[in-house]
Amino acid sequence: MTAQQPDKIFIDGQEQPLFSNPLEDYFTLTNFNPSFMSPHTANWRGYVASWEIINQKLYLVSLSGWKVNPDTPGKLEEVDSQIVFPDESPPIFAKWFTGRLIVPQGKMMQYIHMGYESIYEREIHYHVKNGEIISQNEINNAHRRCC
């Protein structure tokens, strides 16, 4: 498995990597399969979503996905959030998401060539219920041995 290109999250105007994929919950809950295609081995899910926390709520602010171009089979075309949410424009409140958002912080202490397994100095965990941030905590990984 290859380390994966993460979604992005904007917190207080700062872009951060997001080691969670809230859109996957939407696909599961709605039984919707947008048929995204992987543009490369570092993005098996076929999309990158950008999120923002606004007033303690999680919003989808953009989506870049890749699908087979029907006019040129074998070539991918980039699509946006309209492919998933045709009746909504960003920002889209992520009311479907209940779970944990993991935002790595600081320097990478250990690279692990799989998913989102690399270890960073710290992680911020946001606990979300129906799109609303209900709590957050910081995990300090400085004590973890690596290599």
Question: Is 126 within 8 Å of 136 (Cβ atoms)?
Answer: yes
In a domain, 95, yes or no: yes
Q: What's the structural domain count of the chain?
A: 1
pLDDT of residue 74: 80
147 in any annotated domain = no
Domain-located, residue 2:
no
Range of the domain at 135: 7-140
pLDDT tens, residue by residue, 69-99: 888 878 899 999 999 999 999 999 999 999 9
Joined tokens for residue 59: 């919003």
* pLDDT tens track for 104-115: 988 887 777 766
Confidence of residue 147 (pLDDT cuts 50, 70, 90): low
- 27 three-state secondary structure: helix
Question: Is the pLDDT reported for residue 64 higher than 90?
Answer: yes
The pLDDT of 126-143, averaged and rounded, is 93
Q: Which residues contact 18 (CB under 8 A, 6 or more apart)?
A: 6, 7, 8, 9, 51, 101, 102, 103
pTM for the whole structure: 0.87
Give the HSE-up count for residue 145: Cα atoms under 13 Å, Cβ half-sphere. 0
- List, for residues 3-13, the tens digit of each pLDDT value: 778 999 999 89
How far is the C-alpha of 21 from the C-alpha of 49, rounded, in Å?
8
For 34-47, the DSSP string reads -----SSTT-TTSE
Structural domain contains residue 145 = no
Pairing of strands 76-79, 92-93: unpaired
Q: Residue 56: is its pLDDT beyond 90?
A: yes
The better pLDDT of the pair 78, 1 is held by 78
| Residue 36, C-beta contacts closer than 8 angstroms, at least 6 positions apart | 45, 46, 47, 65, 66, 67
